[in-house]
Structure 1
Amino acid sequence: MTEQTKPEEKAGGLMKSLGGSMQRRTFFRYAGATAAATTLLLTTSCDDDDEVTPPMNEEAVDLGSGDVGILNYAYALEQLEAAFYTAVVAESASALSADEMMVMQDLKAHEVAHRDFFKKALGSNAIPALEVDFSAINFKDKNSVLQTAKTFEDLGVAAYNGAGKLFTDTGAGLDYLLLAGKIVSVEARHAAAIHDLISNNTRAYGAEMIDANGLDRAMSPTEVLGAASAFIATEINFSNLPK
């Protein structure tokens, strides 16, 4: 699948769910997820300093090193999410309700905006468009769509949480960190929305992603890209990323 074009942004889907069928307590779950994710960008729940990165094919797409590598890492994940929600909006109308589809349209617009932002910010340092593999997803089945969305959103939050500490430039790196904090808060809102759709507003905050200390999960690039590799056909070389 090639990179999708930016869609016309449609307002009202996510906010309609917040103000309509979703209960008032759900709003506080959204807010709580956002605050936790933004704060926890500065921390990580695992120590991967001694992590060994497996050897990569020389022809694989190289994310690069330093801050550029971390930005390309985020760009790769946003490409995956944007491609997924583009496919959902195009193929899943028969599987989702009108309200659910409006949420998906909002998520699509957000992820495409994130993808396009990273591409523009990276300029000539940006990796090429990645080829995705969604053959394991049944876009005509609601459960398949929502469970995959849950996987991507939970993974995205954990990825940003684990990447914040890897920025090295004390000048531009701080700007990147602040920007990533704004993006991960949106990803956390997405995750809460998907959890609500799956649980029918009964258990939306994703308790399995929070540890005994009340901290959101953080994952290293090796863990994240390993989990995402099932959906990315392009081989990615991330061996030069900061540890």
Structure 2
Amino acid sequence: MQFNKVLGKRIDRRTMISSMGVVGAGALLTACGVRAEPEPPMTDNVDAAILTFALNLEYLEAGFYLAAVGRINELKAIGGNADIILPDGVEGTNPSDAWSDGVREFANELAEHELAHVKFLRSALGDVLGVPVADRPTLNFSGSFAAAAEAAGILAAGEGAAFNPYANELFFLHGTFVFEDVGVTAYNGAAPFVTNKPIVLQNAAGILAVEAYHSGAVRHALYM
């Protein structure tokens, strides 16, 4: 994936990544309807609480990437009828013609992996743990990114109303960085509390490995 040729001149990406990672992630997840920190479980089934939080995060990631590659309807067919709010002018049913082959290929890979994670977690909750499976929450990829950018100090208050994370490859990759970094942190932090080691933990570790790969790939794209 030839990211460097695509992104062109080097801006101060380290500063932006740092601010988005520290401040923007919490604002982005909260605005999208997913808490950056899981609520204390209201059940004795800790594994179910952990996997439900993970599922909500995967709904969010899958929606972001599937919309980028024109496949949002694949997520709309799963987990209920809650709204998926995209920026003005983005339908989520057509990939961007302006993106390079390398970034488009990367986005499709991300979409495939995160959709697979959604399906696995739904199966793990319903078939393995035998608990109700959480429906997909309302996902907001419009105002949420504006809130994250403003919280991180990248945009002044009120300037982010029309911010579109799909407008160009750099914006998309910064959004990817936030999601994947949060994903790695969430799975790593939850792992010690999983009680079903042979099934739940083993498979969650596999998801963590994929999230870590994604995080490393997007860091390479933005830093290099």
TM class by shorter chain equals: 0.5 to 0.7
- Pick the aligned partner of 1:76 from 56, 79, 87: 56
- The residue number in structure 2 matching 1:197 is 221
- Tell me the distance in 2 between the aligned counterparts of 1:79 and 1:125: 16
Residues 151 and 95 of structure 1, relative CA distance in 2, 3 Å threshold: farther
Give the conservation status (yes or no) of the 8 Å contact 1:95–1:140.
no
Deviation at 1:54, TM superposition (A): 10
What is residue 118 of structure 2 aligned with on the other side? 115
Judge which range, 148-157 or 114-123, deviates more.
Answer: 114-123
C-alpha deviation, 1:63, in angstroms: 8.1
Number of residue pairs aligned between Structure 1 and Structure 2: 144
- Counting only pairs closer than 5 Å after superposition, residues 134-153 of structure 1 correspond to structure 2 as 134-136=141-143, 137=145, 138=164, 139-153=166-180
Q: Is the 8 A contact 2:3 2:103 kept in 1?
A: no
Structure 2 residue aligned with 1:180, among 189, 201, 204? 204
Instruction: Assess, with a 3 A threshold, how the Cα gap between structure 1 residues 88 and 77 changes in structure 2: closer, same or farther.
Output: same
> Are 1:68 and 1:125, in contact at CA under 8 Å, matched by a contact in 2?
no
C-alpha distance in structure 1 between counterparts of 2:42 and 2:68, whole Å: 27
Q: Tell me the distance in 2 between the aligned counterparts of 1:89 and 1:160.
A: 25
Aligned partners of 1:94 and 1:140 also within 8 Å: no
The residue that corresponds to 2:148 in the other structure is none
Alignment pair present for 1:133 and 2:136: no
Contact 1:85 1:107 in 2 (8 A): yes
How high is the sequence identity, in percent, across the aligned residues? 33
- The structure whose RCO (Cα within 8 Å, separation 6+) is larger is 1
Quick one: which of 87, 94, 107 aligns to 2:67?
A: 87
Instruction: Supply the AA of the counterpart residue of 2:213.
Output: R
Q: TM-score, normalised by structure 2?
A: 0.57
Q: Distance in 2 between matches of 1:117 and 1:54?
A: 20
Aligned equivalents of 1:54 and 1:89: distance in 2? 29
5+ unaligned residues in a row in structure 1: which ranges?
Answer: 1-16, 24-52, 57-61, 203-243
1:106 maps to which of 101, 106, 109: 109
The DSSP-based 3-state class of the residue aligned with 2:208 is helix
Rounded to whole Å, the distance in 1 between the matches of 2:61 and 2:39 is 26
How far off is 1:95 after superposition?
A: 4.5
Q: What is aligned with 2:189? A: 162
Alpha-carbon distance change, 146 to 54 in structure 1, aligned in 2, over 3 angstroms: closer
For residues 33-48 of structure 1, the aligned pairs below 5 Å read: none
Q: How far apart are residue 197 of structure 1 and its match? A: 2.1
- Relative to 1, partners in 2 of residues 1:155 and 1:77: Cα closer, same or farther, differing over 3 Å? same
Structure 2: gaps of 5 or more residues: 5-36, 71-91, 146-163
The aligned runs of 1:12-31 (5 Å cut-off) are 17=1, 21=2
Q: Is the 8 A contact 2:124 2:200 kept in 1?
A: no
